[in-house]
């Protein structure tokens, strides 16, 4: 399986892999994702559902055009036919492919036409009119002969039947209001909800929508809307703005979501286990080993709170078990990589040395594993989440016992029905929840939320898109950057320990990483809501959501409760202001590197205030005179201004060894047929961050498949270029803040091969952030020209050469 996409940057744990795309005009070299990702067949249709066929692989499908603005994220394909215009990707992302006027989109349109006719031809079981706000509907076929609307909340109740089908036949327009929602209850599935609409469809901003829109006119999706399903029109365009499309919604945990560990009978611990959330037992009340174990949340033993959590856990288990599987798994999954989807395992399942879950750049990707038997992981094994996959969106619904091996690394939410054993010295990012039995722990570390990966943006004290303007004697620990703008003023008199990047490649790369970090932080499920003024309050670790403007008038305290791995994410949907003289204080082990302020509106820090954490903004940031802050001020859409301010960059969050690599666009060459040519290109900035704190050496390795051009209409055999014709020169390696010197790092020019080779290696401690901008070079032999034409040679298109690069950091 291959996919073309823009290069993305994201954190890598030891042994994780990434691929990149290189393009050269005229003679194109594409680095595509290889087939170690498991293909996922479409979900099996229920008896009474509408069969979308190939149209079901699309998040959005139009006839005329698709136009996206902002950071939209699609879990499927985007396609147009017969039109070809698809804009806004990037900055939008999609885990599928773009089909602009190709045969795949044409086939999907044909299937959509049949699905539309099927839905329109069903015999109605009820009639609707006007506004559906506040109503609850059960399964059936509903007919509306005039325009239909949803102004607040519409509930679709499956009555505990996950195969229940809802079809809405609307003979005119269909509109939903801003902040409205379609709620699925009691097992209702978005894949079994169909909105067959003759007129235009308009979904209000910040709304939540569920189902498959099968339209015969234009579809407009308001800014910030979350869409669980598909938007498909067989006669019109689709417009969207910063929308999130999911084919599978996450499993709702409700009150069970505050627990790191929730058992039916007892929790038994030995050693220094640390839980970042609460601990609960119900209906039992047994607990041993705390202390020495540490619970940063609350402890509920046989209480009403833990009883309610068990009720909510059962509902979550029922939800996960009812999802329609897309793939069947069995045996040992060692070495496998899986995309988002629903996976069924009728027998016991084992995770060996390494298993990877790939979010494909979508932080909303959902993974559900349905196990009818046991789940076992080997000692020292690792479950890795890459490309935006989030532990809070990985669900292991297990009927049998769960046993995680010693010194293993596991991610996700276990929804269990039997005993759970977590081996000694294991790392668990997520939650272990079981309805029945005991949970046994041994010096385990439970983290509810992982750190937000800033990538190369982590080296910046200030990062903006339009300009950075300083007045007075400001002092900054780290880099200062602007991209795509170039204006950085006020240095001197301002000073900095890093480098100024005014519109260069490094700043552009940092902005790409910042956009990914913003999406990551914004996608985390909130554990609590906040509002108004936080002055005088104390918050423990968690994800906090503010739907309106937020302020700090006096002092806000962030309490790590003795856990140095505690994560604080504050999501602010509007403006954020701190008053003059206010402060954000860290206590009991809370770390500035693990505090994130994801802010949609403008940020204003009052004069002489003290601020802590990393601002990940989407608008202007203003830093008042005399402000002192431990962290970073980063915006993906606006300017940063400051006056006589000072900053200190926090050390990287402990525990991770990560590599952010990238491809390049190679220079065009003219094939003369008489001598080899060299196509070269400079990569965007790479970053390697060693925050493990151990001082152990690390190695970055790379391998490449043979560059191959597919057969054309004239030349009927594939043409190949040897892999060793492609080389990488790492170049100069610089260091970020709080970093060991780069002395002792070996990084020569490397000719690639099919076998992994060391590109960069260290001896001794190299802790911190290392930055480099490598150069790619490809020698094009004299016979490399590909012809695939029906007319004159000089006007013919050229088939691309395709290869795969695999990077490994360990």
pLDDT on residue 653: 55
User: CA-CA distance, 399 to 435, in Å (whole number)?
Assistant: 10
Decide if 158 contacts 131 (C-beta within 8 A).
no
Average confidence (pLDDT) over 302-310? 95
- At residue 423 the predicted structure's pLDDT band, cuts being 50, 70 and 90, is very high
Quick check: 522 pLDDT over 50?
yes
Quick check: 2 pLDDT over 50?
no
C-alpha to C-alpha distances, 314 to 349, 436, 583, nearest whole angstrom: 22, 11, 42
Find the DSSP H helices in 494-631: 505-523
User: CA-CA distance, 76 to 581, in Å (whole number)?
Assistant: 48
Average confidence (pLDDT) over 19-25? 37
Query: Higher confidence at residue 45 or residue 589?
Result: 589
Of 354-363, 563-572, 782-791, highest mean pLDDT: 563-572
Share of the chain above pLDDT 70, in %: 87
Quick check: 40 pLDDT over 60?
no
Average confidence (pLDDT) over 675-692? 79
- At residue 4 the predicted structure's pLDDT band, cuts being 50, 70 and 90, is very low
Per-residue pLDDT tens digits for 190-224: 889 999 999 999 999 888 899 999 999 999 999 88
Per-residue pLDDT tens digits for 255-283: 898 899 999 999 999 988 888 888 999 99
Q: What is the mean pLDDT of the chain?
A: 84
- At residue 16 the predicted structure's pLDDT band, cuts being 50, 70 and 90, is very low
- At residue 760 the predicted structure's pLDDT band, cuts being 50, 70 and 90, is very high
Report the candidate in 385, 396, 349 with the shortest Cα–Cα distance to residue 656.
Answer: 385
Quick check: 787 pLDDT over 60?
no
| 620-634, 730-744, 773-787: segment of lowest average pLDDT | 773-787
User: CA-CA distance, 403 to 167, in Å (whole number)?
Assistant: 43
Distance of CA 628 to the CA centre of its chain: 32
pLDDT on residue 655: 55
Quick check: 716 pLDDT over 70?
no
Query: Higher confidence at residue 808 or residue 320?
Result: 320
- At residue 516 the predicted structure's pLDDT band, cuts being 50, 70 and 90, is confident
Share of the chain above pLDDT 90, in %: 48
| 240-254, 499-513, 794-808: segment of lowest average pLDDT | 794-808
pLDDT on residue 257: 86
Give ∠ CA 688-692-696 in degrees, rounded to 5: 85
What DSSP state is assigned to residue 240? E
- At residue 549 the predicted structure's pLDDT band, cuts being 50, 70 and 90, is very high
The pTM of this model reads 0.59
The CA-based dihedral angle spanning residues 691, 692, 695, 699, taken in that order and rounded to the nearest 10 degrees: -80
Per-residue pLDDT tens digits for 635-673: 999 999 999 888 877 765 555 677 777 767 677 666 666
What DSSP state is assigned to residue 37? B
- Tokens representing 47? 């008896």
Per-residue pLDDT tens digits for 568-621: 999 998 999 999 999 999 988 888 989 999 999 999 999 999 999 999 999 999
pLDDT on residue 20: 40
Quick check: 461 pLDDT over 50?
yes
pLDDT on residue 193: 95
- At residue 245 the predicted structure's pLDDT band, cuts being 50, 70 and 90, is confident
- Tokens representing 132? 């559906």
Quick check: 717 pLDDT over 70?
no
Q: How many CA atoms lie within 13 A of 687 on its CB side?
A: 29
Domains recognised in the chain with CATH numbers:
29-35+656-809 (2.60.40), 53-246 (no CATH), 254-447 (no CATH), 463-648 (no CATH)
Average confidence (pLDDT) over 94-123? 93
| 65-69, 142-146, 219-223, 805-809: segment of lowest average pLDDT | 805-809
Query: Higher confidence at residue 683 or residue 749?
Result: 749
Quick check: 684 pLDDT over 80?
no
Quick check: 411 pLDDT over 50?
yes
φ/ψ of 734, rounded to 5, equals -110, 170
pLDDT on residue 765: 77
Q: Produce one character per residue of 266-303: b if its CB has 16 or more CB atoms within 10 Å, e if not.
A: bbbbeeebbbbbbbbbbebeebebeeebbbbbebbbee
pLDDT on residue 784: 61
């Amino acid at each position: 399986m291959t996919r073309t996409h823009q290069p993305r940057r994201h954190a890598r744990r030891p042994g994780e892999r990434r691929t990149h795309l290189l393009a050269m005009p005229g003679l194109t070299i594409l680095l595509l994702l290889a087939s170690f990702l498991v293909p996922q067949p479409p979900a099996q249709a229920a008896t009474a559902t509408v069969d979308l066929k190939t149209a079901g692989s699309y998040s959005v499908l139009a006839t005329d055009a698709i136009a996206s603005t902002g950071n939209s994220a699609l879990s499927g394909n985007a396609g147009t036919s017969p039109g070809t215009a698809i804009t806004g990707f990037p900055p939008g992302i999609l885990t599928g492919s773009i089909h602009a006027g190709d045969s795949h989109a044409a086939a999907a349109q044909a299937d959509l036409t049949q699905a539309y006719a099927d839905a329109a031809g069903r015999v109605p079981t009820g009639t609707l009119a006007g506004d559906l706000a506040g109503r609850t509907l059960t399964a059936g076929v509903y007919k509306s002969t005039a325009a239909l609307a949803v102004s607040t909340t519409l509930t679709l109740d499956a009555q505990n039947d996950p195969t229940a089908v809802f079809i809405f036949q609307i003979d005119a327009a269909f509109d939903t209001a801003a902040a409205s929602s379609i709620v699925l209850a009691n097992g209702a599935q978005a894949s079994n909800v169909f909105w067959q609409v003759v007129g235009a469809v308009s979904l209000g901003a910040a709304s939540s929508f569920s189902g498959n829109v099968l339209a015969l006119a234009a579809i407009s999706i308001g800014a910030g809307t979350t869409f669980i399903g598909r938007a498909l029109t067989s006669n019109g365009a689709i417009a969207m703005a910063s929308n999130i499309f999911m084919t599978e919604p996450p499993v709702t945990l409700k009150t069970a979501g505050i627990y790191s560990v929730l058992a039916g009978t007892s929790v038994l611990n030995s050693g220094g286990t640390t839980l970042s959330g609460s601990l609960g037992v119900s209906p039992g009340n047994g607990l041993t080993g705390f202390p020495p174990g540490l619970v940063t949340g609350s402890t509920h033993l046989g209480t009403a709170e833990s009883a309610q959590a068990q009720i909510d856990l059962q509902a979550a288990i029922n939800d996960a078990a009812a999802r329609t599987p897309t793939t069947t798994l069995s045996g040992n999954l060692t070495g496998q990589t899986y995309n988002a989807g629903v996976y069924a395992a009728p027998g016991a399942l084992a995770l060996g040395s390494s298993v990877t879950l790939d979010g494909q750049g979508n932080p909303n990707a959902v993974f559900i594993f349905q196990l009818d038997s046991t789940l076992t992981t080997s000692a020292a094994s690792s479950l890795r989440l890459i490309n935006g996959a989030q532990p809070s969106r990985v669900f292991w619904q297990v009927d049998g016992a769960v046993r995680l091996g010693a010194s293993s690394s596991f991610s996700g939410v276990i929804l269990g029905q039997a005993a759970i054993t977590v081996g000694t010295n294991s790392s668990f990012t997520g939650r272990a929840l079981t309805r029945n039995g005991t949970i046994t722990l041994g010096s385990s570390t439970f983290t509810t939320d992982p750190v937000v990966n800033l990538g190369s943006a982590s080296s910046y004290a200030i990062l903006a898109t339009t300009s950075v303007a300083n007045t007075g004697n400001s002092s900054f620990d780290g880099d200062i950057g602007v991209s795509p703008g170039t204006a950085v003023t006020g240095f001197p008199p301002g000073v900095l320990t890093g480098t100024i990047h005014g519109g260069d490649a490094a700043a552009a790369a940092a902005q790409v990483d910042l956009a990914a970090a913003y999406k990551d932080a914004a996608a985390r499920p909130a554990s609590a809501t906040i509002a108004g003024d936080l002055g005088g309050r104390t918050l423990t670790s968690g994800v906090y959501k503010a739907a309106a403007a937020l302020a700090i008038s006096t002092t806000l305290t962030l309490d790590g409760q003795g856990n140095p791995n505690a994560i604080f994410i504050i999501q602010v949907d509007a403006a954020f202001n701190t008053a003059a003289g206010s402060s954000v204080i860290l206590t009991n082990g809370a770390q500035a590197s693990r505090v994130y302020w994801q802010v949609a509106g403008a940020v204003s820090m009052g004069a002489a205030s003290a601020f802590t954490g990393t601002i990940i903004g989407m608008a202007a940031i203003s830093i008042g005179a005399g402000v002192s802050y431990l962290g970073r001020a980063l915006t993906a859409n606006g300017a940063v201004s400051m006056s006589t301010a000072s900053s200190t960059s926090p050390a990287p969050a402990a525990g991770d060894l990560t590599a952010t690599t990238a491809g390049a666009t190679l220079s065009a060459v003219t094939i003369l047929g008489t001598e080899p040519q060299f196509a070269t290109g400079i990569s965007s900035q790479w970053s390697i961050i060693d925050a493990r704190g151990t001082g152990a050496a690390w190695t970055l390795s790379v391998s490449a498949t043979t560059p191959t051009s597919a057969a054309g209409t004239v030349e009927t055999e594939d043409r190949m270029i040897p892999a060793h014709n492609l080389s990488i020169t790492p170049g100069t390696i610089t260091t970020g803040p709080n970093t060991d010197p780069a002395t002792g790092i070996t990084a020569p020019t490397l000719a690639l091969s099919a076998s992994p080779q060391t590109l960069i290696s260290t001896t001794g401690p190299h802790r911190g952030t290392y930055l480099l901008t490598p150069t790619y070079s490809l020698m094009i032999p004299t016979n490399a020209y590909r012809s695939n034409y029906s007319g004159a040679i000089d006007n013919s298109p050229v088939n691309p050469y395709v290869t795969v690069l695999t990077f490994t950091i360990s």
